[in-house]
């Protein structure tokens, strides 16, 4: 994938931030989503066809993606287009606020686009209908094939303006695509846009692959591969397809993640049946041992400031969560609730740790503060695990498996997301069965 | 009263059937606690030498039956000096993927260590963990899980 965000030029059009009257509170469950009208973008008549892109429908298609993004947040209620009175081009110049208020819209998105000379020019405006003011406006120039990303970037800008939080629409999710019978699953690395579009497979399925994770700073992936039947942590550059094994370990390495600066990989290394946590610096190749304990230490995850590591250990007898300094000192157990705990993942905001909890044959995804207090279970199911944070720390994506019959029939693996408020649980659409999701950072940051 | 007696009879019949069926499942399932003791999925390295041992949930300790099986494997390996093996450690599906990888590794090494105490060189035994990735029984039942919590000794040459 090209680094096309560099080619996107962004211009701020005039707007006055003083008139921020409508806003969306995302800190609690939102049972009253904001009614928003997304007008189709007006397609300039000077537009010309470009490499199989349906230019005439582009205005509609971009606004549909924006609507779908908003709908999926659970925070917005995009209104039906049949009720729209004003034509897109006129609305973009100056909306007749009373017309839009009549259909109970509180915010309005308008825009226009031009495809010419191999370039796509887009501008959009966000209007506060209650105050009858423009809230924000932006213009972009990019290549026409980037039109889906344009829709996601517009969605991010509007989300940011209305919620005060960074958006998460111009992002991708890497996961493990699964097919075949349960006892002989074929697993491939797959990547898709956050809305399920543009699925690509990064491995062929010849060897077992597990737990891919994004580098938070670039387009690198770390994952576990059973290449040549030797389970080892690998690095993959999505742009070039280059792969390499991480470090020279004489046994299984697994459970990899990047440090927040993207320069180290933290993982488990199993030696004589005992798993401990190690880091490897990707530049200097320096390997450091972080834990040294006769129990299983795995699933390490750095805090966003890089100063702490959360991990999973059974040193107390059963799986529990622990936090230590990044040099391995000052180990503290943080979970004491009923049940056992796994897969701690530090929020990119630093305030919470997401985890999997197992109790009485049920699986929960939850969040707690980094000292283990304030545990909140967000969702309960027969089997689910492996939460991964949206880059703004507001949504978790995880995978779920269903109970199988005696021959493995009825087994499925699917990706789900839920707000950290516990609301808006939603199945993600994937082309195949899927597990082990990892959410990228914002591509256009 | 007649109705009542009839009901009692029905209960008796139902009750007896339940007891009988409970007995037969216990026998068929071959579970001791939650460790599998049956032979349904077991293969043999040689006549009388089972290839696998089974574990309790979240455990990697060897049961008395497992030790007996591994002693038979050790005897067999002592007789076949040129044979090398890989021990594949597995977990059931009811745990997180990463912890299960570590648990499978621990189980494979528990079997390896026991073979070594019976005189088999560690150089002849490699280990690999598949975690929950390769169930021998794809079902989602206590029986399936018990058959999947295993360490399997596989000839490599």
Cβ-Cβ pairs closer than 8 A, A with B, add up to 110
Q: Which of A163, A196, A220 is the last residue of a domain?
A: A163
Does A39 map to a domain?
yes
CB-based contact B140 A405, cutoff 8 Å: yes
CB-based contact A385 B96, cutoff 8 Å: yes
CB of B8 less than 8 A from some CB of A:
no
A197 and A118 fall within a common domain: no
Does A181 map to a domain?
yes
Contact list in B for residue A268 (CB cut-off 8 A) is: 98, 101-102
A100 and A182 fall within a common domain: no
* B33-155: CATH architecture: 2-Layer Sandwich (3.30)
Contacting residues for B142 by C-beta, under 8 A, at least 6 apart = B29, B31, B34
Q: Which of A143, A163, A183 is the last residue of a domain?
A: A163
A257 and A276 fall within a common domain: yes
A150 and A214 fall within a common domain: no
For residue range A195-218, list pLDDT tens digits in order. Answer: 999 999 999 999 999 999 999 998
Collapsed DSSP state (helix, strand, coil) of residue B124: helix
Task: Please give the sequence-ordered ranges of beta strands (E in DSSP) within chain B, or none if there are none.
Answer: 31-32, 35-36, 44-46, 49-50, 52-54, 85-90, 125-131, 150-155
- The pTM score is 0.91
Q: ipTM value of the model?
A: 0.92
Does A283 map to a domain?
yes
Which CATH number do you get for residue A412?
2.120.10.30
Contact list in B for residue A208 (CB cut-off 8 A) is: 130, 133
CB of B123 less than 8 A from some CB of A:
no
A361 and A329 fall within a common domain: yes
Distance from the B3 Cα atom to the nearest Cα atom in chain A, whole angstroms:
40
Does A257 map to a domain?
yes
- The answer, yes or no, to whether residue A5 has pLDDT greater than 90, is no
For residue range A39-67, list pLDDT tens digits in order. Answer: 999 999 999 988 888 999 999 999 999 99
Contact list in A for residue B97 (CB cut-off 8 A) is: 210-211, 385-386, 435-436
Does A113 map to a domain?
yes
Distance from the A254 Cα atom to the nearest Cα atom in chain B, whole angstroms:
7
Q: Which of A125, A141, A163 is the last residue of a domain?
A: A163
Residue-level pLDDT at A30:
61
**Best residue of A180, A270, A412 to probe chain B, by most B CBs closer than 10 Å:** A270
For residue range A246-294, list pLDDT tens digits in order. Answer: 999 999 999 999 999 999 999 999 999 999 999 999 999 999 999 999 9
For residue range A135-148, list pLDDT tens digits in order. Answer: 999 998 999 999 99
A404 and A434 fall within a common domain: yes
A388 and A417 fall within a common domain: yes
Average pLDDT, chain A: 93
- The answer, yes or no, to whether residue B26 has pLDDT greater than 70, is no
Does A19 map to a domain?
no
CB-based contact A298 B144, cutoff 8 Å: no
Residue-level pLDDT at A34:
94
Number of folded domains that form chain A: 2
A345 and A366 fall within a common domain: yes
Does A177 map to a domain?
yes
Nearest to B109 among A210, A273, A401 (CB): A273
A322 and A421 fall within a common domain: yes
> Which residue of chain A is at minimal alpha-carbon distance from B89?
A273
A158 and A184 fall within a common domain: no
- Tell me which residue range forms the domain holding A124: 34-163
A207 and A137 fall within a common domain: no
A205 and A348 fall within a common domain: yes
């Amino acid at each position: 994938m090209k680094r096309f965000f560099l080619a996107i030029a962004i211009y701020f059009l005039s707007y006055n931030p003083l008139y921020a009257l409508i806003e969306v509170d995302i800190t609690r469950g939102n049972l009253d989503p904001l009614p928003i009208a997304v007008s189709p973008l007006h397609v300039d008549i000077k537009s010309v066809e470009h490499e199989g892109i349906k230019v005439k429908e582009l205005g509609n298609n971009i606004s549909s993606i924006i609507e779908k993004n908003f709908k999926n947040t659970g925070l917005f209620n995009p209104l039906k287009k049949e009720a729209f009175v004003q034509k897109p081009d006129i609305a973009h110049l100056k909306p007749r606020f009373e017309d839009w208020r009549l259909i109970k819209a509180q915010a309005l998105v308008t825009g226009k686009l031009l495809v010419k000379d191999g370039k796509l020019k887009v501008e959009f405006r966000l209007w506060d209908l209650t105050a009858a003011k423009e809230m924000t406006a932006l213009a972009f120039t990019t290549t026409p094939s980037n039109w889906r990303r344009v829709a996601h970037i517009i969605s991010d800008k509007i989300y940011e303006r209305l919620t005060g939080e960074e958006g998460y629409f111009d992002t991708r999710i890497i996961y493990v695509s699964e097919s075949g019978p349960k006892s002989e699953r074929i697993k491939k690395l797959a990547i898709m846009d956050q809305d399920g579009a543009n699925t690509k497979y990064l491995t062929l399925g010849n060897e077992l692959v597990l737990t891919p994770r994004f580098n938070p700073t670039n387009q690198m992936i770390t994952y576990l591969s059973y290449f040549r039947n030797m389970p080892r942590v690998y690095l993959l550059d999505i742009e070039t397809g280059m792969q390499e094994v991480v470090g020279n370990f004489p046994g299984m390495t697994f459970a990899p993640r990047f440090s927040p600066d993207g320069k180290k990989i933290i993982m488990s290394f199993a030696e004589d049946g005992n798993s401990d946590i190690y880091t490897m610096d990707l530049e200097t190749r320096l390997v450091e041992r972080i834990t040294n304990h006769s129990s299983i230490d795995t699933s390490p995850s750095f805090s966003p400031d890089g100063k702490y590591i959360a991990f999973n250990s059974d040193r107390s007898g059963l799986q529990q969560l622990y936090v230590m300094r990044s040099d391995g000192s000052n180990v503290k157990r943080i979970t004491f609730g009923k049940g056992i705990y796994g897969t701690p993942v530090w929020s990119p905001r630093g305030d919470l740790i997401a985890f999997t909890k197992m109790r009485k044959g049920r699986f929960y995804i939850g969040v707690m503060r980094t000292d283990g207090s304030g545990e909140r279970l967000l969702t309960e199911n027969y089997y689910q695990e492996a939460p991964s944070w949206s880059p703004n720390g507001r949504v978790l994506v995880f995978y779920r498996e269903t109970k199988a019959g005696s021959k493995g029939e009825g087994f499925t693996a699917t990706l789900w997301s839920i707000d950290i408020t516990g609301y808006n649980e939603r199945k993600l659409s994937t082309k195949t069965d899927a597990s082990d999701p990892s959410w990228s950072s914002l591509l256009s940051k | 009263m007649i109705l009542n007696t009839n009901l009692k009879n029905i209960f008796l019949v139902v009750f007896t059937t339940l007891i009988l069926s409970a007995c037969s499942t216990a026998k068929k399932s071959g579970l001791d606690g939650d460790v599998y003791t049956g032979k349904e999925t077991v293969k043999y390295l040689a006549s009388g030498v089972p290839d696998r041992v089974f574990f309790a949930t979240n455990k990697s300790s060897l049961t008395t039956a497992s030790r007996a099986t591994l002693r038979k494997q050790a005897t067999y390996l002592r007789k076949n000096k040129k044979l090398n093996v890989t021990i594949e450690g597995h977990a059931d599906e009811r745990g997180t993927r990463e912890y299960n990888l570590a648990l499978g590794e621990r189980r494979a090494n528990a079997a390896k260590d026991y073979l070594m105490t019976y005189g088999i060189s560690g150089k002849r035994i490699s280990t690999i963990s598949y975690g929950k990735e390769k169930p021998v029984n794809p079902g989602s039942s206590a029986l399936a899980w018990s058959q999947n919590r295993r360490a399997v000794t596989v000839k490599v040459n």
